[in-house]
């Protein structure tokens, strides 16, 4: 591949990613083995609070060589060192809230790891957070802990959808939905969203037409990954009523529920002002995006309808780990200030990305997102300019976007997720995760601009 593109790491260094390279050899977190960032902050240092009570999200917290999927997985596909920046996987690069580390440190003082006696306090912490943040009152009996959103959704699909029957998703949608459907042995139907003034919106005519009697579940993503939509009450009510009418149960994945841009407001599905609509749903969510705890393997689902909840429970078996429970309880009980600051930081990073693209990447189309730390960038013009479609065929790549993924790594060092993995409507797009220090994001944008502005 490198050869076909006429680039190797050496020419990349000489021609393409000068700023990125400066980052690699400077203070930024990159995959370069000699990056100074690796000395910039060791894991044992305590997190600095600035004097004005602000956490320092500008300070790079290097994750390279920590067996982390975002930075340590892609280089396996680019063994000659072309990979520099992991902007694909949806985890944050920030050091976690100090209250979490402190709670874990406290627990590891006791050196016995036998079965836990109760998860009541973590469940209560989840209930409090959901009430305080989102105005949804959940009884502890309405909630089940899980070890991930995947297991919760898969259990719901097994409970509600006879094998080989169907679920519907509005696309572009989180690519994990396709894996969940496969694991639950059900078919997935894409309902491609419409673009209205750049914004992705549900296509209700298409949804209605595709909700045939063998479609049993609407797998909703709120906020929507990768498009960043935070669905409004009107949109959710219309969707909820359509699902009721068509006998389709709503499984709402709300894992990104806390990461909401300023000026936007999350409407949890369970808060909708129609009890019949709410009672037709199960909500699956987690602490993991809010506090970057994906590796702790803890999540939960809840329903206002005890019958639906019992049906999912019958297909679900998961237990949470002692450390996952300790981390979650600490995060939800003491982490609000850290999270609010992280969210505000990411909000300003989104604005920075938007302004940068408008000013310096004329070929890339960006629609201001409403939530999540994802941006879904339209690189169609660049793909066209490099004939990604034809090149994908020539090189046996899964899609034009997969070819472009490699092209971008070889030409800029930046690794993004291909839009085609998110179902219909993702063509031409790439997903970029902005949950990093602004200095890293700035280098990433410079590197992408340098590469793409050369070809279009």
Residues in contact with ligand PLP by the rule CB under 6 A: 90, 148-150, 174, 176, 221, 225, 253, 255, 286, 288, 294, 299
Residue nearest ligand PLP, Cβ-based: 148
Q: How far is the CB of 288 from ligand PLP (least distance, A)?
A: 5
CA 332 to each of CA 104, 126, 130, 230, 453: distance values in angstroms, whole numbers, following the listed order: 14, 7, 9, 22, 44
Q: How far is the CB of 268 from ligand PLP (least distance, A)?
A: 14
Q: Which of 32, 286 has the CB closer to ligand PLP?
A: 286
Q: How far is the CB of 397 from ligand PLP (least distance, A)?
A: 23
Q: Which of 363, 421 has the CB closer to ligand PLP?
A: 421
Q: How far is the CB of 186 from ligand PLP (least distance, A)?
A: 17
Q: Which of 229, 288 has the CB closer to ligand PLP?
A: 288
Q: Which of 224, 349 has the CB closer to ligand PLP?
A: 224
Q: Which of 256, 442 has the CB closer to ligand PLP?
A: 256
Closest C-alpha to 331, from 261, 258, 230, 270: 258
Q: How far is the CB of 177 from ligand PLP (least distance, A)?
A: 8
Instruction: Say how far apart CA 131 and CA 136 lie, in whole Å.
Output: 5
Q: How far is the CB of 300 from ligand PLP (least distance, A)?
A: 10
Q: Which of 23, 228 has the CB closer to ligand PLP?
A: 228
Q: Which of 9, 256 has the CB closer to ligand PLP?
A: 256
How buried is 336 (Cβ within 10 angstroms: 0-12 exposed, 13-18 middle, 19+ buried)?
Answer: middle
Q: How far is the CB of 180 from ligand PLP (least distance, A)?
A: 8
């Amino acid at each position: 591949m490198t050869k076909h593109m006429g680039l190797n790491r050496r020419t990349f260094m000489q021609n393409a990613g000068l700023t990125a390279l400066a980052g690699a050899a400077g203070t930024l977190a990159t995959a370069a083995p000699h990056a100074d960032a690796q000395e910039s902050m060791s894991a044992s240092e305590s997190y600095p609070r600035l004097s004005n009570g602000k956490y320092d999200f500008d300070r790079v917290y290097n994750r390279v060589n920590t067996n982390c999927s975002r930075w340590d997985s892609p280089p396996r596909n680019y063994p000659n060192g072309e990979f520099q920046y992991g902007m694909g996987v949806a985890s944050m690069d920030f050091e976690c809230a100090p209250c979490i580390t402190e709670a874990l440190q406290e627990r590891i003082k006791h050196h016995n790891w036998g079965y836990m006696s109760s998860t009541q306090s973590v469940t209560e912490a989840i209930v409090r957070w959901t009430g305080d943040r989102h105005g949804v009152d959940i009884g502890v009996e309405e909630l089940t802990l899980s070890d991930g959103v995947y297991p919760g959704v898969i259990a719901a699909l097994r409970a509600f959808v006879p094998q080989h029957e169907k679920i519907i998703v509005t696309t572009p949608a989180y690519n994990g939905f396709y894996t969940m459907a496969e694991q639950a042995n059900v078919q997935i139907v894409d309902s491609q969203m419409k673009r209205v003034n750049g914004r992705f919106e549900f296509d209700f005519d298409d949804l209605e037409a595709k909700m045939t009697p063998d479609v049993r579940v609407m797998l909703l993503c709120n906020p929507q990954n990768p498009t960043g939509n935070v669905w409004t009450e009107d949109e959710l009510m219309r969707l909820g009523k359509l699902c009721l009418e068509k006998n389709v149960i709503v499984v709402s994945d709300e894992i990104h529920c806390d990461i909401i841009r300023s000026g936007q407001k999350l409407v949890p599905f369970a808060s909708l002002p129609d009890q019949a609509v709410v009672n037709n749903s199960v909500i699956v969510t987690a602490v993991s995006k809010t506090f970057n705890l994906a590796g702790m393997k803890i999540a939960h689902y809840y329903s206002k309808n005890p019958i639906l909840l019992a049906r999912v429970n019958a297909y679900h078996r998961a237990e949470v780990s002692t450390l996952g429970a300790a981390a979650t309880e600490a995060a939800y009980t003491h982490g609000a200030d850290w999270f609010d600051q992280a969210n505000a930081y990411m909000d300003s990073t989104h604005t920075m990305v938007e302004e940068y693209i408008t000013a310096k990447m004329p070929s890339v189309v960006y629609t201001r997102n409403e939530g999540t730390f994802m941006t879904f960038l339209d690189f169609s013009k660049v793909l066209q300019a490099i004939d990604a479609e034809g090149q994908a065929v020539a090189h046996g790549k899964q899609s034009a976007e997969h070819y472009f993924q490699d092209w971008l790594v070889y030409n800029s060092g930046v690794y993004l997720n291909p839009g085609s993995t998110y179902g219909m409507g993702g063509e031409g797009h790439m997903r970029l995760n902005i949950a990093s220090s602004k200095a890293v994001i700035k280098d990433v944008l410079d590197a992408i601009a340098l590469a793409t502005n050369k070809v279009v």
